[in-house]
A and B are shown apart, each in its own frame.
Chain A
């Protein structure tokens, strides 16, 4: 194989990997808002992944509505996630075909564990993986497919990132005076 062919092949592989690592949303789909039922499912998911049972549902709804109304593809991602979560409970005898939002906190967590295998943050990954620019989340992004990929890498990621920039999220690391205040000198 000539150098030129090899270079072209490398370029194609790189392009496929890049697309795989970046494209999560189907931006040809419509914007809009979720139904109340769908919002209930997203809130039920959010409570578990944020480990926060008291977070105001209305505040989350405002955030999700803004995202689904403003950015093409996001509404579709949330809808596909709701369908996936409900179908995951349907497939499990234990939950007797109940909707995801009607499960207890612990049951919902078990559904998520059945869907996804947890992995550590890249700072806790072996150095060689980071040097290879293949931290665990990138590997997961490459390996997950379909609605599971959208739920894990768009919806859950977006909800958690948002949560940890709110007052309640920052409180996890002791920021009780969010968003700022002169520190005691």
Chain B
């Protein structure tokens, strides 16, 4: 019997529906799986430390940069922002209270660094970072951009569940034995947003560079090295090695453009991240921007699976990889029945029953208790 037109239409609609359902499932697992919050907590410490350092340096010229008649003129900032909103509590702080406000802010940042106060402190730290960056926006650069990005996402996720004063208080003082062990959807959303935003940063940087001739003819790296105002280490001896300079230029631009694509597959991720570490160490060591370079390297923690961040024992892992990707989301489900570890991982992402939940918080997934 030949298929009728209705049969064909019906078949196509089922295929489309299945594909859409599959897309929805992948999207759901990519964004809304529950994961270990360790990566976020490590990021909190690194970003909090850098934010504190940056603010201590602001403090060396506080009135100059934040005073009502300082370098950062409100009218100019307003024009630069195209008369848009420039939220900053500094607009309301009289000059005589600048120092007090500054040290209060540093206090909040220290609390954030040590993981005290949960999301409230994280949100306050983000508001502070944005307020400083907005008020002194004529004197800001990549460091402030990346710090604001990271803290924005850190404020979404649970950043004080581990390696924090909050954990210590809850476990030691309030005797909540398993506090902070639960995997979290918010942690996954925050990590995913950091990952995607980083890809956007590098892709934009790479595509922006491709508009310049020097990145095509291989001179760009020399132009950066020979910029006296940026230079912190003399690399002018490289002038004798033009091919090496060209190679460095090409590698840098290719790496920036492909980062967004090759950071997802597990096989290429370590290579891409390692190249990034080398590049940012170079920016720090030779162009004097250690703070920016380190902040970028810190952000790579979002791509590192929590199990690699745990140095104590393998059984500490309570939830699946936070550094996973779209491919993981598909692959894990396919092999779940045949690979016990992956099955554990899969179930732990979505605790549908109390049984699963108990396994999760115990910190040691036990296969025999999992419903088959």
Binding between chains A and B? no
Which residues of chain B have a CB within 8 Å of any CB of chain A? none
